């Protein structure tokens, strides 16, 4: 680490104050002259600059060298993880037109717990308890959200709730997760060498993971054809498996997995893939970065193991975040509410004597009134097929 710190001091000296500031989560350079930081969830431009494009490129080259990679005109893209866990992404000219684009996502010190997420207003106590129940009951779960919405952070929190008696296999592109549980094995993909040989993909790792007696499999980010392998693993007795994916609603998350799964095996008919996905995935947890910079879980939804004649998934929101206003400072104010829908696995909650009684799914009166109003409006407009595509 010492060596790396030296090179930060030399090559990244202009942005070092921000790298050292705990309130800053990301440093973004759009060419040498335009630098932004993300502080408490919001972006701001900062009054520092690299001397010139060469200086910025030297910094990126140095980082690349440090992690054993090369960046130059022929290899203008870098995606790497630093020894301290920070994630660095860079694109060099000619692909980046304004000069080198660099993003450093700092590794947040100490991974948060459910209590931290509750205190930050990212989730309510009740909704967190419900997710705990889902983890205990080994429900297969997908965390869905946009870039930087907090998917990985949430996966860390949920993963750490897995009972310590179970063996957990974690598969990632660039190791990022730090799940606190007793029995966990970490695996990471491998880049090909200079001759394009020796690559190990997420698909390869899921296949070998299945031979390593996992109870549960966690895939850090599903963004390729491995979606099919994860779904298959979930369908074949690795209950309680998890992954994250980029999507804006729970419904879109399933569609995205479907698209990814088809990339790998286009011989499987789409109807079959949909059936497998709806059978494999029990829950989708949607997380969002809101306008005020906060991250919130906006929906916790159950996926029913059925698709209709049009091939649509059946999704039911169990909890939702409902915005109720904004403070004069622009902070979003709202509540996490149960929608009144009782999950199909309620009997499992009861026979396992889990402390989550039915009444907890009752929505507050104001929410019921709001829903009734919305329903009558939809009726008036003559629309709405009520398929539960909520955000
Ligand atoms: N609940 C939260 N409240 C406030 N900040 C959060 C929360 N969750 C994550 N963050 C911060 O948001 C940033 C992005 O988090 P994270 O890496 O978990 O997102 P991600 O969705 O996995 O991103 P990517 O799409 O790049 O993989 C980090 O700086 C993290 O510290
Ligand atoms: Mg992530």
Sole residue written with tokens 């879109």:
252
Residue 363: the pLDDT is 97
354 token code pair: 């889990």
* 8-state DSSP, 108: P
* Residue 44 burial (C-beta neighbours within 10 Å; 0-12, 13-18, 19+): exposed
Distance CA 255, CA 101 (A): 31
**How far away, in angstroms, is 223 Cα from ligand 2 center?**
11
End-to-end CA separation in angstroms for the chain: 43
Sole residue written with tokens 């907890």:
360
* Residue 357 burial (C-beta neighbours within 10 Å; 0-12, 13-18, 19+): exposed
State pLDDT tens for residues 6-33. 777 788 899 999 999 989 999 999 999 9
Sole residue written with tokens 């049009």:
310
Residue 107: the pLDDT is 80
State pLDDT tens for residues 52-99. 999 999 999 999 988 888 898 888 999 888 777 788 999 999 899 889
Residue 176: the pLDDT is 84
Atom of ligand 1 nearest to the CA of 244: 22
Distance CA 86, CA 166 (A): 29
Pocket test of ligand 1: the residue of 127, 153, 287 to mutate, having most ligand atoms within 8 Å of its CB, is 153
Residue range 2-105, CATH number: 3.30.450.90
Q: How many CB atoms lie within 10 A of CB 250?
A: 28
From residue 113, alpha-carbon distances to 122, 124, 128 in Å are 11, 13, 11
State pLDDT tens for residues 103-123. 999 887 777 899 999 999 999
Pocket of ligand 1 (CB under 6 A): 25, 108, 117, 120, 122, 145, 147-153, 295
Residue 389: the pLDDT is 47
Kindly list the domain boundaries of the chain, sorted by start residue.
Answer: 2-105, 114-381
User: Please, how many CA atoms are within 13 Å of residue 39, restricted to the half-sphere of its CB?
Assistant: 13
Atom of ligand 1 nearest to the CA of 145: 21
Q: Which ligand is nearest to the CA of 292?
A: 1
Alpha helices in 240-364 (DSSP H): 250-264, 270-280, 346-351
Residue 3: the pLDDT is 63
Collapsing DSSP states into helix, strand and coil, what is residue 264?
helix
**How far away, in angstroms, is 221 Cα from ligand 2 center?**
7
Atom of ligand 1 nearest to the CA of 105: 29
Q: Which ligand is nearest to the CA of 145?
A: 1
CATH 3.90.1150.10 fits 114-381, yes or no: no
Residue 156: the pLDDT is 95
Residue 159: the pLDDT is 95
List CB contacts of 221: < 8 A, sequence separation 6 or more: 151, 152, 172, 173, 243, 244, 245, 246
What are the pLDDT tens digits along the chain (391 aa)? 456 677 777 888 999 999 999 899 999 999 999 999 999 888 999 999 999 999 999 999 999 988 888 898 888 999 888 777 788 999 999 899 889 999 999 887 777 899 999 999 999 999 999 999 999 999 999 999 999 899 999 999 999 999 999 999 999 988 888 898 889 999 999 888 778 889 999 999 999 998 899 999 999 999 999 999 999 999 988 889 999 999 999 999 999 999 999 987 778 899 999 999 999 999 999 999 999 999 999 999 999 998 888 889 999 999 999 999 999 999 999 999 999 999 999 999 999 999 999 999 999 999 999 999 998 988 888 765 544 444 4
Collapsing DSSP states into helix, strand and coil, what is residue 181?
coil
């Amino acid at each position: 680490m010492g060596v790396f710190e030296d090179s930060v001091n030399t090559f990244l000296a202009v942005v070092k104050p921000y790298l050292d500031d705990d309130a800053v989560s990301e440093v973004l350079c759009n060419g040498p002259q335009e630098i932004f930081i993300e502080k408490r969830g919001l972006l701001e431009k900062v009054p520092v600059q690299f001397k010139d494009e060469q200086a910025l490129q030297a910094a990126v080259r140095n980082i690349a060298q440090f992690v054993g990679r090369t960046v130059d005109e022929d290899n203008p893209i870098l995606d790497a993880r630093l020894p301290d866990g920070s994630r660095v992404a860079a694109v060099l000219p000619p692909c980046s037109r304004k000069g080198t684009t660099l993003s450093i996502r700092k590794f947040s010190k100490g991974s948060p717990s459910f209590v931290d997420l509750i205190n930050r207003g990212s989730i309510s106590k009740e909704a967190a308890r419900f997710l705990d129940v889902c983890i205990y009951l080994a429900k297969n779960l997908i965390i869905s959200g946009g870039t930087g919405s907090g998917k990985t952070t949430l996966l860390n929190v949920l993963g750490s709730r897995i009972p310590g008696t179970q063996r957990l296999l974690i598969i990632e592109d660039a190791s990022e997760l730090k799940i606190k549980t007793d029995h966990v094995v970490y695996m990471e993909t491998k880049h090909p060498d200079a001759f394009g040989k020796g690559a190990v993909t997420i698909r390869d790792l899921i296949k070998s993971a299945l031979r390593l007696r996992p109870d549960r499999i966690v895939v850090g980010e599903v963004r390729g054809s491995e979606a099919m392998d994860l779904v298959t693993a979930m369908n074949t007795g690795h209950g309680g498996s998890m992954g994250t994916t980029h999507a804006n609603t729970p419904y879109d998350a399933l569609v995205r997995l479907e698209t990814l799964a088809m990339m790998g095996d286009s011989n499987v008919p789409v109807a079959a893939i949909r059936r497998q996905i709806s059978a494999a995935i029990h829950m989708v947890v949607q997380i969002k970065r809101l306008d005020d910079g906060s991250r919130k879980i906006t929906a916790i939804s159950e996926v029913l193991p059925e698709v209709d004649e049009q091939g649509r998934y059946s999704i039911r929101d169990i909890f939702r975040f409902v915005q109720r206003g904004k403070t004069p400072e622009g902070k979003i104010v709202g509540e996490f509410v149960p929608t009144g829908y009782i999950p199909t696995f309620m009997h499992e909650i009861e026979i396992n004597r889990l402390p989550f009684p039915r009444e907890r799914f009752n929505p507050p009166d104001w929410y019921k009134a709001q829903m009734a109003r919305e329903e009558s409006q939809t009726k008036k407009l003559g629309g709405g097929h009520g398929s539960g595509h909520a955000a």
